[in-house]
Amino acid sequence: MNKNTHIKLIALITATATLSGCGVTYPLRKQRTAEPLPTELAEYYTYPSQQPEATRELVRERERHRQWLVTFPLRTPEGFEAIEPTVEIEWYESTVPSDRADGKLPAIVLNPILGGDYPLERSICRFLANQGFHVAMPHRKTLKISPEHKIERLERLLRQGILRIRQVVDWMEKEETVDAERMGCFGVSMGGIATVMLAAIEPRFKINVAALPGGSIADIITSTQDKMLTEPFTKYLAANDLTEDQLEQALRESIRTDPLALAPYVDNHNLYMFSAMFDRTIGTRNAQRLWHALGRPRVTHLPFGHYTAYLSLPYIKLKSLSYFEKHLR
């Protein structure tokens, strides 16, 4: 197949998928019970139990939900210095009537992508809230490596992210309208990677949807063809006089909070994945490697790249809603 024919074929697949709004879904074939999370690893993600008081500000009110900005201090374990010491949550409080006698609704944590202003995430939050799910979206700064910081800082950010989400769950549990027995997790891209890790660490999430994840993080950083990731990588090499092999080794030695490392502790029947067939950011091989490590959970393959997969966002929202409806209603 020559180059022009290949381009036309991809364009045809993309156009067809966009018009039909569908991917190829493979159901879970064999249920796998997760390995117990080792005590040492569980303790790595613990923090002081006393919950601080949160501030809450109404941002806007819609017909079927209210949007709040909630903030509180991040609790950290002894010896851990937070890089982002304040937790900020966009809380989409659904006002859709509950069908339960206690009036409570299920709740979902939405993990955002790698930085940005959250326009796509907010559309998902509003969509789910309008369908009768409370949604919490924590703010998160970028996770890119930078020349002025030691490589170990990346693990601090990853660990901090897990601590933050677990404390968001603490806060949600105390909300009068939240059913703490019906909580789930959702994420796209870096948020999808975080969702996989939380599926291993946070047992209060009964169901998890991870779109466009992959692993390991070291493999993604060193093999990506995305300029947003390759440029910081190249700058870090030059600033620290390192070879690619040396930096890769440093990443593998320093990163503990990693989806591939945590995959054995995930129940594959509690996870639904979306994967992009032509992903040059996460890497198709890295996505497949993680899927296999997770015990081949239910997955939908989208005929797109990492960014063009967002053309299928309406489809992802509907499929995810159906999954949450099935398991959290």
- The model's pLDDT over 128-168, given as tens digits with 9 standing for 90+, comes to 999 999 999 999 876 677 888 889 999 999 999 999 999 99
pLDDT confidence of residue 230: 87
Residue 16 confidence (pLDDT) above 90: no
- Asked if the model's pLDDT at residue 10 lies above 60, the reply is no
Average pLDDT over the chain, rounded to whole?
A: 91
Segment 310-320 mean pLDDT: 94
Q: What is the mean pLDDT of residues 174-181?
A: 96
Instruction: Write out the two tokens for 5.
Output: 């024919």
Which of the four pLDDT bands, split at 50, 70 and 90, describes residue 228?
confident
- Dump the DSSP string for 25-57: EE---S--PPPPPPHHHHHHT----PPPPPEEE
DSSP string, 218-260: HHHHHH---HHHHHHHHHHHHHHT--HHHHHHHHHHH--S-HH
User: ω before 275 within 30° of 0 (cis)?
Assistant: no
- Mean pLDDT over 181-196 rounds to 97
Q: Which domains does the chain have, with CATH numbers?
A: 3-328 (3.40.50.1820)
Average pLDDT for residues 175-182, to the nearest whole number? 97
Q: pTM for this structure?
A: 0.91
Whole-number pLDDT of residue 116: 66
| Pairing verdict, β 86-94 and 105-111 | unpaired
pLDDT, tens digit, for every residue of 248-266? 999 999 999 999 999 999 9
How far is the C-alpha of 168 from the C-alpha of 8, rounded, in Å? 46
Closest alpha carbon to 194 in 266, 111, 256, 125: 111
| Pairing status of strand 178-188 against strand 105-111 | parallel
Q: Which of 21-25, 235-239, 275-279 is predicted least confidently?
A: 21-25
Contacts of 109 (CB under 8 A, 6+ apart): 135, 136, 137, 138, 165, 168, 169, 172, 183, 184, 185, 186, 198, 205
Is 229 a residue whose pLDDT tops 90?
no
Identify the pLDDT of residue 20.
47
> Could you read off the pLDDT of 54-70 as tens digits, one per residue?
999 999 999 999 999 99
pLDDT tens across 267-307, in order? 999 999 999 999 999 999 999 999 999 999 999 999 999 99
